[in-house]
């Protein structure tokens, strides 16, 4: 794995916007910033990451195996009623059980990982419920590769995999007339990610409708309706299950007829409390990092402290030989887990995090984020990648 300087495309902003990637340079107020050929705020293509084929193969194999281990961990949580250990309330636990028993299908997820000094992938966590960076991972870096590195390959079959999965879901939910896509319209990043997913569903034969979550209402009897009072039957929601489980509609979720993508059982895997459970189930697994509910487990050793529920690296702390690093935030009310510290690889003073995408339980793509500090954040740069065969 190498960080290689590149010559940016002269019209890269227009190329990104042409495919619907409109948030490549937004500020904290969702306003576009002035950019030129060599000015980057989020997406950057003045550098790229070059991988060796065996590194890609190792990431693929690790993600494939970790996904199976995660599914076994969900079954373990359900069989041994460990929901309280994950700070999941009894009523939401029943919704999860019912979803798992119905074998409700998943669309996608993303493992956040690093590779250690020996090139062995290690999982930091699983973005199992509401992963983003999708349009960047699927279309943006693919078109960059085609223009800049046409002789190289890329770990990226995301688009085709998503269309294929939506086709399967069309057969599975054959009675659903419309597939709703719901997100908060005040986030342009969320809207762009959801619009891209809508496009893949359209290509798979779905009738689709975009809905502002702020406009969704309920009849009080388990029926949910969009802003036009159209009944919602099947909904992709870019909104975390832990927020839904504490919303004003929480009591109506159990009896409602809506089917959700991602399904409720994914909330078990998006909760970082699953990490110590995974370690207990599979101690010494080469792609897992030791994790515990007890800080004392790591006495005298470096570790990460992570809230059960957090987003974009908020409220995460690292205790390392170089000192303590902390990203402030408001998470942690449910509790914290502690995980062995495995530093992200550094290139030119940038820490890199690798995201391996899964679609239909199959590894389908890779994204690379880089940050000046050791904790990845929402503002971390997205950098394209490529690899050379043999």
Q: What is the pLDDT of residues 71-124, one digit of tens each?
A: 999 999 999 999 999 999 999 999 999 999 999 999 999 999 999 999 999 999
Q: Where would I find the beta strands (DSSP E) of the chain?
A: 2-5, 47-52, 108-115, 121-127, 179-183, 208-212, 217-218, 224-225, 234-237, 259-261, 291-292, 303-307, 317-320, 323-326, 336-340, 346-347, 350-359, 362-371, 381-383, 385-388
Beta bridge pairs of residue 183? 212
Say what the pLDDT of residue 383 is. 98
Question: Are 287 and 62 spatial neighbours (Cβ–Cβ below 8 Å)?
Answer: yes
User: Which tops the pLDDT comparison, 163 or 330?
Assistant: 163
> CA 204, CA 227: separation in Å to the nearest integer?
25
Say what the pLDDT of residue 390 is. 65
The answer to which of 20-24, 138-142, 376-380 has the lowest mean pLDDT is 376-380
Please check the confidence at residue 377 and state whether its pLDDT lies above 80. Answer: no
Of 242, 245, 273, the closest CA to residue 73 belongs to 273
> CA 185, CA 192: separation in Å to the nearest integer?
10
Please check the confidence at residue 56 and state whether its pLDDT lies above 70. Answer: yes
**pTM metric for this prediction:** 0.96
Of 316, 274, 314, 267, the closest CA to residue 291 belongs to 274
| Three-class SS state of 384 | coil
Please check the confidence at residue 228 and state whether its pLDDT lies above 70. Answer: yes
Say what the pLDDT of residue 313 is. 83
pLDDT confidence of 389, banded at 50, 70, 90?
A: confident
Mean pLDDT to the nearest integer, 204-211 = 97
How many C-beta neighbours within 10 Å does residue 335 have? 14
Beta bridge pairs of residue 292? 338
Please check the confidence at residue 36 and state whether its pLDDT lies above 70. Answer: yes
> CA 259, CA 233: separation in Å to the nearest integer?
6
Q: What is the pLDDT of residues 301-320, one digit of tens each?
A: 999 999 999 888 888 999 99
For the record, the structure tokens of 207 come out as 């009738």
| Mean pLDDT computed over every residue of the chain | 94
pLDDT confidence of 206, banded at 50, 70, 90?
A: very high
Q: Where would I find the beta strands (DSSP E) of 14-133?
A: 47-52, 108-115, 121-127
Please check the confidence at residue 379 and state whether its pLDDT lies above 90. Answer: no
Question: Left, alpha or beta for 7 (phi > 0: left; psi -120 to 50: alpha)?
Answer: beta
Say what the pLDDT of residue 291 is. 98
Q: What is the pLDDT of residues 229-282, one digit of tens each?
A: 999 999 999 999 999 998 888 888 988 889 999 999 999 999 999 999 999 999
For the record, the structure tokens of 259 come out as 């089917």
Please check the confidence at residue 367 and state whether its pLDDT lies above 90. Answer: yes
Share of the chain above pLDDT 70, in %: 100
Q: What is the pLDDT of residues 171-188, one digit of tens each?
A: 999 999 999 999 999 999
> CA 214, CA 281: separation in Å to the nearest integer?
40
């Amino acid at each position: 794995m190498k960080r290689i300087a590149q010559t940016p495309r002269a019209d890269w902003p227009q190329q990104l916007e042409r495919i619907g990637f409109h948030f490549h340079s937004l500020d904290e107020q969702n306003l576009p910033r002035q950019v030129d050929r060599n000015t980057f705020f989020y997406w950057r293509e003045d550098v790229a990451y070059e991988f060796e084929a065996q590194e890609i193969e190792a990431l693929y194999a690790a993600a494939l195996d970790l996904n199976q281990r995660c599914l076994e961990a969900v079954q373990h949580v359900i069989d041994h009623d460990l929901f309280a250990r994950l700070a999941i309330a009894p009523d939401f636990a029943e919704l999860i059980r019912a979803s798992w028993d119905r074998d409700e299908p998943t669309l996608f997820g993303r493992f956040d990982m690093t590779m250690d000094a020996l090139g062995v992938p290690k999982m930091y966590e699983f973005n199992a419920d509401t992963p983003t960076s999708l349009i960047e991972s699927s279309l943006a870096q693919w078109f960059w590769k085609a223009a800049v590195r046409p002789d190289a390959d890329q770990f990226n079959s995301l688009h085709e995999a998503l269309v294929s999965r939506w086709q399967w879901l069309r057969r599975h939910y054959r009675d659903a007339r419309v597939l709703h896509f719901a997100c908060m319209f005040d986030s342009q990043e969320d809207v762009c990610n959801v619009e891209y997913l809508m496009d893949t569903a359209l290509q798979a034969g779905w009738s689709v409708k975009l809905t502002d979550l702020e406009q969704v209402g309920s009849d009080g009897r388990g029926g949910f309706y969009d802003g036009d009072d159209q009944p919602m039957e099947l909904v992709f929601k870019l909104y975390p299950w832990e927020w839904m489980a504490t919303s004003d509609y929480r009591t109506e979720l159990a009896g409602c007829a809506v089917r959700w993508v991602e399904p409720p059982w994914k909330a078990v895997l998006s909760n970082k409390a699953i990490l110590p459970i995974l370690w207990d189930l599979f101690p010494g697994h080469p792609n897992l990092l030791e994790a515990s509910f007890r800080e004392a487990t790591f006495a005298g050793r470096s570790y990460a402290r992570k809230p059960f529920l957090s987003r974009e690296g908020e409220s995460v702390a690292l205790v390392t030989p170089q000192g303590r690093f902390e990203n402030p935030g408001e998470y942690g009310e449910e509790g914290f887990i502690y995980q062995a510290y495995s530093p992200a690889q550094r290139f030119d003073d940038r820490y890199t995090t690798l995201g391996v995408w899964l679609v239909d339980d199959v590894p389908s793509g890779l994204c690379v984020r880089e940050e000046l500090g050791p904790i990845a954040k929402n503002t971390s740069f997205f950098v394209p990648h490529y690899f050379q065969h043999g």
